[in-house]
Structure 1
């Protein structure tokens, strides 16, 4: 028995099929977008670096994520982490590269200065920073240190590294480094909870 089907009968299932396919398509696109952003964040942003070093007096100075890189130059120059304040109050100020900073970031150094009742600050910079940036920074911070320990390896070459040039001369640098500071706060919160 052949019965003619009314046009309304066929239209309803087609609309439902189209709507379910559209919903599926949008869901797949959204999941792909979120997943690709997560991969990008994990490989190219601050989230590519471990968040284990944060404390009241520590932040991430450099992260190898391609879209993050240097933070310490801006943290000092724009006093984002109150680094200038802390460095200005030190009795002994260490100047040099990040290698010097790493070498003296030990319990033995902290214990020695604690026993001597002296405050110290490790002002070492990545990129093998030189005297030109240190001189500008010291002029800005007016330190009260009575002893300076300087890692002299290439320190007195009058060169400005790319991060130093950025903080000194790029008008967009303050916003860029404040953004990096914001993302460190986000990373710290996210990594503590996840």
Structure 2
């Protein structure tokens, strides 16, 4: 009883403070509306992928709980692989018209939690994926064991995956409703002293797997291209990279490497890896890019990098038609 009274008193106090703020802070209502609208899916072809530090798309794609997404994944001629840095960098508005012009389909099969080759290999084998072309962002991709989250995903049942998805959906919608009454002040104004404090919401396209990010903060620092020189590739990265390519070769898929510029490199020399594996490297040496958080590209730079990627990738495109 005492706990309920404390909760009710706290809630009433927050509501009172909120309405006082609404009366005194100019533009608060507009800002709240902007945040709550931005946290909605951009269209019916999107599902919730990430909310408040929890990734849902691992479960959806691994367990195949969304039939449309899995069908498009299996039919894709081109797979784009990488960690969240690749997912921030790929933009549908750039990729979609390009792929359509060449009669090809693509799918972005990247994940958060820095999950790389180990989890993606699980996905490729589980769904028997056989794309014509696989483009890998090497930064932090090879030599990655399953993250703690990915281990949980693999152990979960399809029922557990669906349960987690609906819990995330209901939780997200409930927060949106409550924040319309009692706004999340961190969403509105950030954390004092923490420049990258706001948590992002990501919806994932069922059509091409690309993330739609909200909010996408403004750029705060440069993301320069790297001079990798002749740094050799050690066995920690080289051995799993060879094994990954061998798996793709058995499936009739060609591998191409790329590198999304970032202020904080996570390991993997694309030039040396390309020589080791005997595969092309594209999308390198893109200058003038920026990051919003010290790791991922800003929105404008992501579109710019995507345009450079498809420009370099076009000469290697497979012909349209059956595999």
TM-score of the aligned structures, taking structure 1 as reference length: 0.64
The aligned runs of 1:16-165 (5 Å cut-off) are: 32=8, 35=11, 51-64=39-52, 69-82=54-67, 83-165=69-151
Q: Deviations over 1:112-160 (max 9, x none)?
A: 1121121110111001111111111100112231011111112111411
Give the aligned length. 154
The aligned runs of 1:174-193 (5 Å cut-off) are: 174-186=158-170, 187=172
* Cα distance, 1:188–1:147 mapped onto 2, change above 3 Å: farther
Cα deviation for residue 191 of structure 1 reads 6.1
Larger RCO, structures 1/2 (Cα 8 Å, 6+ apart): 2
Which one has the largest radius of gyration? 1
**Residue 117 of structure 2 contacts residue 143 of structure 2 at CA under 8 Å; is this kept in 1?**
yes
In the aligned structure 2, how far is the partner of 1:50 from the partner of 1:162? 30
TM-score of the aligned structures, taking structure 2 as reference length: 0.41
In the aligned structure 2, how far is the partner of 1:101 from the partner of 1:63? 15
Unpaired segments of 5 or more residues in structure 1?
Answer: 1-24, 40-47
**Residue 83 of structure 2 contacts residue 115 of structure 2 at CA under 8 Å; is this kept in 1?**
yes
* Cα distance, 1:165–1:64 mapped onto 2, change above 3 Å: same
* Cα distance, 1:79–1:50 mapped onto 2, change above 3 Å: farther
In the aligned structure 2, how far is the partner of 1:125 from the partner of 1:53? 19
Cα deviation for residue 54 of structure 1 reads 4.7
In the aligned structure 1, how far is the partner of 2:135 from the partner of 2:122? 17
Between Structure 1 and Structure 2, which shows a larger proportion of helix residues?
Answer: 1
Query: Pairwise CA RMSD of aligned residues?
Result: 3.6
In the aligned structure 2, how far is the partner of 1:189 from the partner of 1:112? 38
In the aligned structure 1, how far is the partner of 2:51 from the partner of 2:82? 19
Cα deviation for residue 180 of structure 1 reads 3.0
* Cα distance, 1:125–1:49 mapped onto 2, change above 3 Å: farther
In the aligned structure 2, how far is the partner of 1:118 from the partner of 1:189? 39
In the aligned structure 2, how far is the partner of 1:80 from the partner of 1:55? 19
In the aligned structure 2, how far is the partner of 1:190 from the partner of 1:117? 41
Cα deviation for residue 184 of structure 1 reads 5.0
Larger mean Cα displacement after TM superposition, 121-130 or 97-106: 97-106
